[in-house]
């Protein structure tokens, strides 16, 4: 190995080491800069206390907030008030013969912008059953849903399960994330999710 090659290898090693140090420092700075989201967002919209007093209250309030009669818009302020700042909505992308299953993430505001505009048809989500698990200040809810264009429609146009991750802080519950998948012929809703966990 020539002297020139050795020098170039040494310089390259220094460059790579320097880049690694910078990356590590950047990641450390980001961790140090992370702040509890509720404490760092004092101006976040306040929820109606009846919307967030209990686990099922906040779940039902979510369904109500995303349901809109024809000619009306989604209540974005109410929807935001149910979530922690930086809370997420995750919508599954079902698999097809040419594509594997996937997922799309939205902030609350992104979801409201995409799906909350005034439409000529209504959208109503109902919630026949909830399976609830609680540990400390967190709760997980497997929530069966049915979607209709009109409240009086005898059959839903879609159904599935929404998975809620919740946080209890003070005297209320917050949604941290909602993630859902739809029922399909190859993905029916299991019988245990067709009734409440208390039954």
Which residue's entry shows tokens 């109606």?
48
pLDDT for residue 119? 72
* Contact status, residue 44 vs residue 85, Cβ threshold 8 Å: yes
* Helix, coil or strand: residue 99: strand
| pLDDT (tens place) for every residue of the chain, 199 residues total | 555 544 455 444 544 445 454 455 555 555 556 889 999 999 999 999 999 999 999 999 999 999 999 888 888 999 999 999 999 999 999 999 999 999 999 999 999 998 887 677 889 999 999 999 999 999 999 999 999 998 889 999 999 999 999 999 999 999 999 999 999 999 999 999 999 986 5
**Beta carbons within 10 angstroms of residue 45's beta carbon:** 14
Which residue's entry shows tokens 């497997």?
142
Buried-exposed string 171-184: b where 16+ CB fall within 10 A, e elsewhere: ebbbbbbbbbbebe
pTM of the shown model? 0.81
């Amino acid at each position: 190995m020539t002297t020139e090659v050795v020098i170039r290898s040494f310089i390259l090693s220094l460059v790579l080491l320097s880049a690694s140090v910078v990356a590590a420092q950047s990641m450390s700075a980001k961790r140090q800069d992370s702040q509890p989201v509720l404490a760092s967002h004092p101006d976040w919209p306040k929820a109606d206390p009846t919307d967030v007093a209990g686990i099922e209250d906040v779940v039902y309030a979510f369904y109500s907030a995303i349901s809109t009669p024809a000619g009306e818009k989604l209540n974005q302020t109410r929807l935001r008030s149910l979530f922690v700042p930086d809370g997420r909505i995750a919508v599954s992308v079902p698999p097809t013969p040419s594509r594997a299953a996937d997922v799309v993430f939205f902030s609350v505001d992104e979801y409201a912008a995409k799906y909350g505009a005034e439409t000529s048809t209504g959208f109503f989500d109902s919630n026949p059953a909830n399976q609830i698990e609680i540990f400390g200040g967190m709760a997980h809810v497997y929530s069966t849903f049915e979607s209709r264009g009109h409240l009086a429609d005898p059959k839903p146009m879609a159904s599935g399960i929404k998975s809620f991750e919740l946080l209890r802080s003070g005297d209320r519950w917050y949604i941290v994330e909602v993630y859902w998948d739809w029922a399909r012929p190859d993905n029916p809703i299991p019988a245990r999710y067709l009734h409440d966990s208390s039954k």
